[in-house]
């Protein structure tokens, strides 16, 4: 359950509070807000290189999810890279968004997060798992997967309403409404599939669509709606 749409929603509503706490210029505040929203989404891109591995060995692939892109050390590296490029607002926003993504995953997504990767490869404790002793029934896991599309739909609605209030990116709104409607259709389809298919078969269909289509689409929309996010 990647739920990157849910992370995007958190990023949008948290960006205003984060920007209000400090950036000196309008540009830095805009960078901070956009970076924070994008930083809340991008850790799940680790699923992209794992798609083919998932078809071969799903358990191995999922054990590698929430590792390198979810590491606090990676967030620190991202901060240093963008700070070195003299984009302090973007650096702080991306790093803070990535850290918040990690903490939300630890708290609510029923699996471990390798917060200090790659220290675990050296035999040092690096993974936090609050749910190690909890068994989630397969159908519940599948329904949570179906909720990924619902979360994306809500995220797109939030961006669309903000665009209307600001009268910004209006030319993109018809396409955004199309993408939003697609999420409602996919939510309904995948709820049905969750109830009909085995959890393993559901995951093959779900992760292929989610990773190869929906996640890149969400990142594209976030970048496309950057002026809206910066003005929130």
The pLDDT assigned to 58 comes to 66
The pLDDT assigned to 64 comes to 76
Strands 127-128 and 113-114: antiparallel
Tokens, residue 99: 């850290």
Would you give the DSSP letter of residue 232?
Answer: -
Q: How far apart are CA 39 and CA 8, in angstroms?
A: 9
Strand partners, 114: 127
Q: Tens of pLDDT along 180-191?
A: 999 999 999 999
Q: Tens of pLDDT along 16-70?
A: 888 775 546 888 899 999 999 999 999 999 888 877 776 666 677 677 788 899 9
Q: Tens of pLDDT along 92-124?
A: 999 999 999 999 999 988 888 999 999 998 888
Work out the pLDDT band at 222, boundaries 50, 70, 90. Answer: very high
Q: How far apart are CA 86 and CA 112, in angstroms?
A: 34
Give the number of domains in the chain.
1
Mean pLDDT of 71-81: 97
Query: Is the pLDDT assigned to residue 137 strictly greater than 60?
Result: yes
The pLDDT assigned to 76 comes to 97
Domain enclosing residue 83, as ranges:
4-231
Work out the pLDDT band at 127, boundaries 50, 70, 90. Answer: very high
Mean pLDDT of 161-172: 97
Polymer length of the chain: 232
Report the first-to-last Cα separation within the chain, whole angstroms: 28
**Would you list the DSSP string of 4-73?**
HHHHHHHHHHHHHHHHTTT-SSHHHHHHHHHHHHHHHHGGGGGGGGGHHHHHH-HHHHHHHTTSGGG-HH
- Collapsing DSSP to helix, strand or coil, 132 comes out as coil
Work out the pLDDT band at 1, boundaries 50, 70, 90. Answer: low
- 91 near 35, Cβ under 8 Å? yes
Q: What is the 3-state secondary structure (H, E, C) of 57-122?
A: CHHHHHHHCCCHHHCHHHHHHHHHHHHHCCCHHHHHHHHHHHHHHHHHHHHHCCCCEECCCCHHHH
Cβ burial 179-206 (10 Å sphere, 16+ → b, else e) = bbebbeebbeebbebbeebebeebbeeb
CB burial of residue 162 (10 Å; 0-12, 13-18, 19+) = middle
CB burial of residue 224 (10 Å; 0-12, 13-18, 19+) = middle
């Amino acid at each position: 359950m990647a739920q990157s749409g849910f992370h995007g929603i958190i990023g949008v509503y948290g960006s205003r509070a984060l920007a209000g706490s400090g950036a000196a210029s309008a540009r830095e505040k805009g960078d901070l807000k956009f970076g924070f929203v994008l930083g809340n989404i991008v850790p799940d891109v680790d699923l992209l290189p794992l798609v083919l591995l998932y078809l071969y060995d799903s358990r191995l692939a999922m054990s590698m999810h929430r590792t390198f892109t979810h590491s606090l050390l990676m967030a620190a590296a991202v901060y240093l890279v963008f700070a070195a490029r003299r984009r302090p607002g973007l650096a702080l926003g991306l790093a803070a968004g990535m850290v918040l993504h990690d903490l939300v995953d630890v708290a609510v997504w029923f699996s471990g997060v390798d917060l200090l990767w790659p220290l675990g490869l050296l035999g040092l404790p690096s993974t936090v798992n609050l749910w190690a002793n909890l068994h989630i029934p397969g159908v519940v896991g599948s329904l949570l997967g179906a909720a990924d599309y619902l979360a994306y739909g809500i995220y797109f609605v939030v961006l669309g309403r903000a665009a209307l209030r600001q009268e910004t990116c209006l030319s993109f709104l018809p396409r955004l409404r199309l993408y939003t409607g697609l999420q409602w259709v996919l939510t309904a389809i995948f709820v049905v599939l969750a109830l009909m298919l085995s959890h393993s078969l559901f995951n093959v269909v779900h992760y292929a669509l989610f990773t190869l289509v929906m996640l890149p689409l969400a990142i594209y929309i976030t970048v496309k709606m950057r002026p809206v996010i910066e003005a929130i």
